[in-house]
Every structure is written in structure tokens, then in C-alpha cells.
Amino acid sequence: MVITFQNVSFKYVDRYLLKDASFSITEKEKIGLMGVNGSGKTTLLKLVVGEEKPVEGTIVKSGNITINYLEQNQTFKDDETVLEAITSRSSKEHPIPDYEIKSALNHLKLFNYQALCKTLSGGEKKRLSLAICLLSYCDILLLDEPTNHLDNDTILWLENYLRKWPHGLLLVTHDRYFLENVCSNMLELDHGHVYTYVANYSKYLELKEQREENEAHQEQKVKSLLKNELAWIRAGAPARSTKQKSRIQRFNKLATIEFQKDSKLNMSSIDRRLGNDTIEISHASKAIDGKVLFTDFSFSLPRYSRVGIVGDNGCGKSTLFKAIMGKTSLDSGSITIGQTVKIGYLSQELMEMDPEDRVIDFISRDGGSIDTLDGKLSPKQLLETFLFDSDKQYASIKTLSGGEKRRLQILKVLSSNPNILILDEPTNDLDIYTLEVLEEYLDNFKGPVLVVSHDRYFLDKVCDTLLAFENQKINKYTCSVSEYLANQTKGEDNKKEEKTVRVRTHPSTGKMRDRLAYLEKHTILLHKEIFEIDKKLNTPTSNYQEVNRLGEERNSKAKQVEEEENEYLETLDELDKALEEEKK
């Protein structure tokens, strides 16, 4: 099964997103799709599925190829339940086993199978869409930012799932660890051109650097030729040979060659006045609708610290930020902000922007410059640093992609010249190139940073301290997020080793079937018990000891579910092998 682009061009308004592009995607490849925001990554996915049509060239799909596409926004029937949304995609030719559905839904934190789709939040709908794409049959899977708004443990599960994925994969993500571990090929969009690499993410970076060095060398050669040709053009008729017409044509051709370069400007911020008093949190507790988020949390933000905040979706990370910003109140405890503090706050939601406003006007308003060690960066320089070229700077905001709007929002926050940064999921919808610019800025920022993110690479690169939401508590760790997650996994593995290992001696197919039946019934029972615990946790209470006990009980049962589901899959594999041997 192959999808082939043959000299494909696609134009948006007056700009080519693809120009004379030729490449192929097969059912055997796992491809990471690279490119800055607005370069056309989502458009390319839509061209593959046929939602967009090329202005030139052809897209050929072999055979009866089946494609699943995870879009940014998915719609469901109002009267459809979570379970029905998936089972309706099952067929006689490609049935979806019940245990696979429940296993995927549990890992994606969709525990209420009978919930109506219309009652789901935006994040829950995205996770349900992901489950449908993974479980229903296809030859090639297209995923557009699948890790956005996923918990770290869910991202790790998805990463392992896709590593074992037996079909073709075309993936857009800013998660660099995810790209490194899942993809074996890279496809890069750069100013309308397409470059292919047989490489994972780290090898791709090496090959890309080599390509750019070669292009720089080629550019230097062209400039040298242009210089000689220009001298000849200006020499006057007596000094020219009889080949002047062909040489003039050659000069004109050389002059039309374009070489694209990304701007590299210094983003080192100056040391702004910030006293010893920054942000002081004392014995803070907060519950929403009776659900306890955190209790008795105390923390003093150090002067030059980089603090990453991690935890499951809905655990209270954004609520903590809103409490710091005075947008919500605590149930108990206090938050004190120093007198010299000027906070730059980036929320998850896009700020209001006039769609008719020009990009440069939006940034220029209210100052729009950043003080650096080398002087002020003007709005134009700022925009160039964040990969807005001259055309984009004078375009209206309504022409920007979602990622470009997010990039503009971050730039607006930085241009307010804060001395403390509070960033809520800054990596969502950003391309890797912008992330690198942001990481460089944060590395040189002369003030403390608080950041919520599920991007492991970003947190590893930026942060020196972690605050982890765990069982209605916020615990402090001085390690990287990768070390934190590895320690969590190691702890779970040690607990598994302490349990008595069930030894299977001469297993028969009958015993395997009995075990599968038991596991299926028992995991359903465990899910019901977890559901009852969740109801208790959502009941208003001031008994935090009971809340902690219930939280620990829930985690224990959730781990048991995961172990039994893994055993179910292993037993099912053994049963399949045994049945195959019996046939022989």
C-alpha cells in the first residue's frame, strides 16, 4: 500500500505550502513530519486523506488503501456513548475485540464507557478520537499532535503502542523524545520544498545540518558567480564577447535562485530588578466541586530556579497557576507576591486577538520590545527571532495557523518584559524550531520560571526542579522529569517482583480460556470499584486523611488493572500460538 505525491503543488492565498513535491508514504514506514508552524504540515495530512486538493500535480493511492486520520477537532453523535463510538467502527472483516477497546480506553483515562459523547470535554473527545484511530483497521495512520493534553504516563503508553504498530504511520508532534523512539523516517517541509530522511530524530538533525551546510556552500558559489556576471554586465558593450545574450540570460537565472535562512538573534534577557521576595505559598489547599486537588502545600520560589510542574490531567496544575495570578481563591492557606515581581503569564487558552489586526501591529502595541544584553530587540527583530518572516509580519492574524497564533501569544507575554514567567503548557501546538528558540530564551532568562508541560524533552532541557501532583499532595523533586518517570516505573516494577509469580506448567488451551474469562470479569469488577472510589473522592469533605487513603486505594487498584490487562494480552498471545500448533 503506497501513497505517492507526483510533482504536487499547493497554494494558500499567495504562498506555496508545497511546490513541485514528490515523495511516497508506504504501509511499512513510520514517518515524523517536520516543519515550522504554518509550513503546511496539517495541510499535507489533509491532502493525503483528500480533504484538500493540489493545485498542480497528482496524488496516487494504490489499491483499496484505508487511512485513519486523527484531526484536531472530532465530532460525535450526541446520543452515542463512548463504547458505541468505537464498537460502531468494528466490522466482520476487521472486528475490534472487547478487551482491546477497554484496555485502550483505560489507558486513555476514559473509564466511564457509558458516558454520552456530548458530555465529554474537549480533551476527552480528543482521547476518544485517538482510541478510534488506533483500534479501527487501517493501512496508514495519520496523527496530528496526538500527545497534546495527554498525561505523561498516557504519552508513554502511546509511545510503546506505536512502536509496536504494524502499519504505516505519518506523525506530526513537537514531542522530540516521542519522535526519537517511534519514527524511523523523517519528512521535512521547508519553504514549500520536501526533504526525506531515512533516520530517527537525532540522526535527522545530523543529516539536516549537513544539508544546510551544503546549501550554504552552494549559496556562496552562486554569489561568486553573480559577482563575476554582474561585473561583466556593467562592463559595457566593447568589453563583452559575442555571447552576451546567453550570458545575460545566465545572470538573470542565477539572480532568481533563492536561499532561505532562519534568523539567529540573541535572546539573552537582562537582569531585571527583583527583590528577595518572589512568590511564597503557605499551607495552600484547594478543592473544586468537592474534588480535592491539593492540600497543605508550602513552597517558596527561589530567585533563579526553573520549576517544572507535572501530574495527571485535572489534578490542579492550572488551578495552582490561577491561584497565583489571583484568578481563583484558595480554600485555605495563602499566596504572597513580592512587591518587585512582574509576572509574565501564559495560559492554556489563546488570548483574544483581533483577526483583522496585523501581526506586527499586535506585537508593537504596548511596547513590543525585549531588553537584551545587546540592547533592545525591536518588534520586527522579535518576530524574526520567532520565525515570522517579512510576509507574515504584515499579514492579518486570521491568516495564521493555530501554532502560529500560539507562537504570537508567547511572544506577546515575553515582550511585556517580566521578571518571573508562569507558563501553562507553552509547548502545545508549537513546532520544534520555535521550542528551541523558547528554550534558549528561558535558559538565559534572568528570573525564576514556573512551567506546566507534558513535553518531557522540554522539561528535561529547561527545569532543575519538579513539583509533582501525587494523591492530592504536591511533592518536590530535584531531578529531571525523565529520572522522575523512570523512578516511578522502577518502583512499580519492584512491587510486581515482590508478588508471587504465577507459574504456568503445561498450560492447556482450556485453562487459558478459563484464565481469560476470569481476567475479563475481574478487570470489569476493578473498574467498578475504581468508579465508586472516584464518586467518593468527588464528594465534598474536609477529611483529608480519608481523601489520601482513598487516593492510595485507587492507585493500587488502577495498577492491578494494568497488570491484569497485560496478563490478558500475554495469555491471549499464548492461546493463539497454542491453537496454531494444534492446527499443525
In a domain, 510, yes or no: yes
Spatial separation of the C-alpha atoms in residues 579 and 305, rounded to whole Å: 59
Same domain, yes or no: 6 and 60: yes
In a domain, 206, yes or no: no
Burial letters for 304-333: b for 16+ Cβ neighbours within 10 Å, e otherwise? eebbbbbbebbbbbbbbbbbbeeeeebeeb
Whether residue 80 sits in one domain with residue 46: no
Q: Is residue 93 part of a domain?
A: yes
CA 18/CA 190 separation, integer angstroms: 9
Buried b / exposed e over 179-199, threshold 16 CB at 10 Å, is bbebbebbbbbbbbebbebeb
Task: Report yes or no on 113 lying in a domain.
Answer: yes
Please indicate, yes or no, if residue 444 is contained in any of the structural domains. Answer: yes
**Is there a domain that residue 60 lies in?**
yes
In this structure, the answer to whether residues 441 and 471 fall within a common structural domain is yes
Measured from the Cβ of residue 286, the count of other Cβ atoms closer than 10 Å reads 22
Does residue 24 sit in the same domain as residue 129?
no
CB proximity list for 92: less than 8 A, separation 6 or greater: none
Residue 268 counted as domain residue: no
Assess whether 401 and 436 both reside in one domain.
yes
Helix pair angle (98-107, 544-583), 10° resolution:
150
Let me know: does 57 contact 6? Beta carbons within 8 Å.
yes
Q: How far apart are CA 288 and CA 133, in angstroms?
A: 33
Residue 359 CA to residue 135 CA, distance in Å, equals 41
Question: What type of residue sits at position 28?
Answer: K
Helices within 352-427 (DSSP H only): 359-364, 379-385, 390-393, 402-414
450 in the same domain as 344: yes
Per-residue exposure over 449-485, b if at least 16 CB sit within 10 Å of its own CB, e if not: bbbbbbbbbbbbbbbebbbbbbbbbbeeeeebbeebb
Cell numbers that stand for 528 in this block: 467498578
Same domain, 445 and 397: yes
Rg, the chain, Cα only: 28
Q: Indicate whether 183 and 225 sit together in one domain.
A: no
Give the dihedral sign, CA 97/110/519/154. Answer: positive
Cα angle, residue 481 at apex, residues 477 and 487 outer, rounded to 5°: 75
Query: Would you say 105 and 134 are in contact if contact means Cβ atoms under 8 Å apart?
Result: no
* Three-class secondary structure of residue 66 per DSSP: coil
- For residue 567, the model assigns a pLDDT of 82
- In whole angstroms, what is the distance from residue 372 CA to residue 368 CA? 13
Could you give the CA distance from residue 331 to residue 549 in angstroms, rounded to a whole number? 21
- Per the CB < 8 A criterion, the answer to whether 57 and 109 are in contact is no
Whether 263 is in a domain gets the answer no
Exposed/middle/buried for residue 580 (C-beta within 10 Å: 0-12, 13-18, 19+): exposed
| Rounded Cα distance, 443 and 522, in Å | 50
Same domain, yes or no, for 449 and 355?
yes
Coil, helix or strand at residue 292: strand
Predicted local confidence at residue 485, as pLDDT = 87
Domain with residue 351: its CATH number is 3.40.50.300
- How crowded is residue 138: how many other Cβ atoms within 10 Å of its Cβ? 19
In the structure grid, which three cell numbers stand for residue 408, read together?
A: 504570537
What's the DSSP call for residue 309? E
User: Tens-of-pLDDT digits for all 584 residues of the chain?
Assistant: 789 999 999 988 778 899 999 999 999 899 999 998 888 899 999 999 999 999 999 999 987 899 999 976 667 888 899 999 999 988 888 999 888 898 899 999 898 999 999 888 888 888 999 999 999 999 999 999 999 878 888 999 999 999 999 999 999 999 999 999 999 999 999 888 999 999 999 999 989 888 888 877 776 766 666 666 566 556 655 555 545 566 556 556 655 555 555 544 445 555 566 778 899 999 999 999 888 999 999 999 988 899 999 998 889 999 999 999 999 999 999 999 998 999 999 998 888 889 999 999 998 887 667 766 666 778 888 888 888 888 889 999 998 888 889 889 988 888 888 889 999 999 888 888 888 888 888 888 888 999 999 999 999 999 989 999 998 999 999 888 988 988 876 655 555 444 434 433 334 666 777 777 787 778 777 877 877 787 777 676 667 677 778 778 887 888 888 888 778 777 877 776 776 676 55
Look at the chain and report how many structural domains it folds into. Answer: 5
Whether residues 321 and 467 fall in one domain: yes
The number of beta carbons lying within 10 Å of the beta carbon of residue 243 is: 9
Q: Do 300 and 432 fall into the same domain?
A: yes
Query: Whole-angstrom Cα distance, residue 343 to residue 341?
Result: 6
CB 357 within 8 A of CB 425: no
Backbone angles phi, psi at 571, to 5 degrees: -65, -40
pLDDT at residue 523, as a whole number? 78
Q: Which domain holds residue 224?
A: 217-255
Asked if residue 56 and residue 81 are part of one domain, the reply reads no
Sign of CA dihedral 303, 304, 305, 306: positive
